[in-house]
Amino acid sequence: MTELGKDLHRLASFLRLQQLARTPHDLTVPGGLTPERLHRYRCDAAGISLLYATQRLDDTVLAALQDLADESGVVEQFLAMKRGAVMNRIGGYESENRQVLHTACRDLFHSPPLATEASHEATEELAKLRDFLLDLEEETLVNGRGEPFTDLVHIGIGGSDLGPRAIAMALDAYRLAERRVHFISNVDPDDAAAVLKGLDLSRTLVNVVSKSGSTLETLTNEELTRAAFARAGLDANRHFLAVTGKGSPMDNPERYLRSFYMFDYIGGRYSATSMVGAVMLGFILGYDPVIEILLGANDMDRATEKRDIRSNPALLLALLAIWNRNLLGHDTIAVLPYSQALLRFPAHLQQCEMESNGKSVTRTGEAVAYPTGPILWGEPGTNGQHAFYQLLHQGTTVVPVEFIGFRESQRQEDLLIKGTTSQDKLIANLLAQAQALAAGQESDNPNRRFAGNRPSSIILAQRLTPATMGALLALYENKIALEGFLWNINSFDQEGVQLGKTLAGRLLAHLAGRRRETGHDGAAADPLGWALLTAAGLDVRGR
């Protein structure tokens, strides 16, 4: 086991930063934002550039942030995580007590990899995936009529849906022409009904993703989908795939055409580069693009091992998050991709950040003495400019922003209109927003005054490719893990979602008991829950 970290507020470098935060860099004064600063405050790795001149810091603050990284041993903790240390734990208390090895899914290209056994297991699963995809391509795996499969329904929830869905949407431009993917996640029956309506189920595979094999929402949606296959006169067992833990109830060849494994050391929200994402992505993209995603992620993982914050984008982003959250007092962050393909990427990051770092106890079980994870949200630009940017520029709440953009369009279908392409207009808007937030504008008309000093970072890549997507995914996964190490919290469990699940289970027991008319006395067993049901008009007696 690795040693747990130190609390942030006990570090000498953090106390120094508190002093510096009293007079943060002013971006609005003459010389506050210069061409030289814009070129010098840039960090590059894995094909991604991080421009951070529009943050409220200077060289003195950067040096103090470097000291914070060194004093906290945050990179050493990241390396310990990659090597298989038990990082998912709370010292002295019952906890999951697990390794955290999502990076092993893409650490297959080192010789040897840092986590040999986990990387070997990932290699085995990739080999199974390659064989499965080859069977589809060569049409040795077909439906009952000898026809190839054209569609795949991906059933999962939380980390089994958000990351994979975001990547699938981001890389739709690379999708095989004859393949389509659909997603069912919400236990709302209308979600499943809408997805299944109009599909040719005879040519559809269903990929069910649940590590435990017992996730209620996922199993409910699986049964709804199996019922649809039965109504169509099809044997669901010849159409369903499983991504699950080895030995789980879903690890059953009698019910699933193929099974792929996910492991306890890979958390749901960090699982997109495991079989959780790879099976679906392989179906719609092919095997080689999946490998490109893993290579891009691995490149960023390796960059995250560097101790110099000016060469490590994930570490620099994490430290900027500490600067803005803990020292400048900003409670929220907006991730704004200027790419329609990244429509659902902020939703994935919302889960990854807030489920990971929405914690109020340290890794020793004590109450934290400082704010932890910020509220993360976002939508694509330029649409967002016509929605919520008014608050970003002139509202009373300062919201730090991370802009994401690409120098080239993904599909390369564009026109010159009034002297510029649509991609020119897109990237110009991104850059202009960062400049406007930072520098602001003076005006005699108070309604047209922009205060400025609203921090942002710009994340740029050449083009959104599978490799770039992998690097971008790993950039944020690593940033979030590093934040947790700095805050000395456990970023790899999610106890906060359990209480609601437990109470929902009680309410469902009440409803099931009333439907069966078993004499279930919900009012006596759980008076508050029973009162909630009846107040909501859900007395099911006689249904």
Q: Which of the residues are catalytic?
A: 355, 386, 501
Q: Which residue bears the tokens 């202009």?
A: 432
Token reading at 57: 């810091």
**Does the CA dihedral 340-344-345-350 come out positive or negative?**
positive
Answer whether 61's CB lies under 8 Å from 323's CB. yes
Q: Residue 525 phi/psi, 5° resolution?
A: -75, -35
258, β-bridge pairs: 241
Q: Residue 85 phi/psi, 5° resolution?
A: -65, 150
402, β-bridge pairs: 335, 457
187: burial class by Cβ within 10 Å (0-12, 13-18, 19+)? middle
Rounded to whole angstroms, what are the CA distances from 162 to 378, 476, 496, 523, 533?
14, 14, 18, 38, 30
Full 3-state SS string of 111-169: CCCCCHHHHHHHHHHHHHHHHHHHHHHCCCCCCCCCCCCCEEEEECCHHHCHHHHHHHH
Token reading at 531: 């009162």
Amino acid at position 260, single letter: F
Contacts 24+ apart (CB under 8 A), 83-88: 83/114, 83/115, 84/114, 84/115, 84/117, 84/118, 84/265, 85/1, 85/2, 86/1, 86/2, 87/2, 87/490, 87/492, 88/267, 88/490, 88/492, 88/493
3-state helix, strand, coil in the chain (%, to 5): 50, 15, 40
* Cα 71 from Cα 489, distance rounded (Å): 16
